[in-house]
Amino acid sequence: MSSLGPQAIFGDRVARLREVVVESVRETHDRHAAAQNTINPKSQLAYGGSIWAELPNNLCTAVRQEFLDTTVTKYPRARYSLPVLNDCIVYVWRPAGGQSPDEAPFFTSSLRADLFDADVLRQPTLFETHVVDPEGDLSDLEEVVTEADAEQRQVVLIAVTARSERLHVIEWGQVKRGKDSQLDWIGRESIFSFEEENYRPVPVSTHTFADGQPPAAIVTPRIEATNSDE
């Protein structure tokens, strides 16, 4: 399986897919940021506690609506579905705490690690025999396992660096599992940046001290929920 990057994987669809990705991520961020501001502007609990699952779910819906040949995959225990376009899984990930994808470990989640595994083979039962060719050649099952180990699924990762107060960067690129559980990027590029785009942040309250007595100062740490896709 060759390493090509989004441009070669999606061909003439890449420009529209890029737009769909950015639109979906921005809408999801804005909705969760608004909810966070309503619940508790000094915390990240509402934002970080649910956006990790909503980002991939919403993107899956958006990609399916735009590209009718999209198929969907869902891993056991996962709270989200993933779109598969041009035989490539499209996965959106927002590292907790507003970290960048270079700061946060990716493979701490078994579900994320499973993205790169070849199709899971049905394991032989206790009542089945594992037959090996008498001349020493690999059995059919062993040949399939060997081929699967030599390949990884094609995965395009959308990495979102964001906190409730700001969506900083959206990047994408083809990724593979590298050495020491690191991500190897192919064709990585920024497709949205707060500094580069004319981006309108989520509106904040217009209440001012002139409307009444100023409230007492409350100092609380900004805590983000520790939910993950486990």
Nearest in space to 81 (alpha carbons), one of 106, 104, 54, 99: 54
Q: Is residue 183 part of a domain?
A: yes
Q: Is residue 101 part of a domain?
A: yes
In this structure, are 72 and 21 located in the same domain?
yes
- Higher-scoring residue by pLDDT: 15, 133: 15
Residue 185 belongs to what domain range?
A: 6-117+153-202
pTM comes to: 0.71
In this structure, are 146 and 184 located in the same domain?
no
In this structure, are 60 and 112 located in the same domain?
yes
Type and span of the H or E element at 47: helix 45-66
Q: Is residue 213 part of a domain?
A: no
In this structure, are 28 and 109 located in the same domain?
yes
Query: What is the structure's pLDDT at 26?
Result: 97
Q: Is residue 223 part of a domain?
A: no
pLDDT bin (cut points 50, 70, 90) of residue 215 is: low
Q: Is residue 110 part of a domain?
A: yes
In this structure, are 67 and 109 located in the same domain?
yes
Strand order in the sheet with 183-193: 71-73, 82-85, 88-93, 155-163, 166-177, 183-193
**How many domains does the chain contain in total?**
2
In this structure, are 132 and 30 located in the same domain?
no
Give the tens place of pLDDT for each residue, 150-184.
356 899 999 999 998 899 999 999 999 888 778 99
Q: Is residue 111 part of a domain?
A: yes
Q: Is residue 207 part of a domain?
A: no
The Cα 124–Cα 89 span in angstroms is 28
Give the tens place of pLDDT for each residue, 55-70.
999 999 999 999 999 9
In this structure, are 68 and 130 located in the same domain?
no
In this structure, are 88 and 186 located in the same domain?
yes
Give the tens place of pLDDT for each residue, 87-105.
999 999 999 889 999 999 9
pLDDT bin (cut points 50, 70, 90) of residue 10 is: very high
In this structure, are 43 and 24 located in the same domain?
yes
Nearest in space to 169 (alpha carbons), one of 188, 187, 184: 188
In this structure, are 163 and 145 located in the same domain?
no
Q: Is residue 217 part of a domain?
A: no
The Cα 88–Cα 48 span in angstroms is 27
In this structure, are 25 and 77 located in the same domain?
yes
In this structure, are 23 and 76 located in the same domain?
yes
pLDDT bin (cut points 50, 70, 90) of residue 190 is: very high
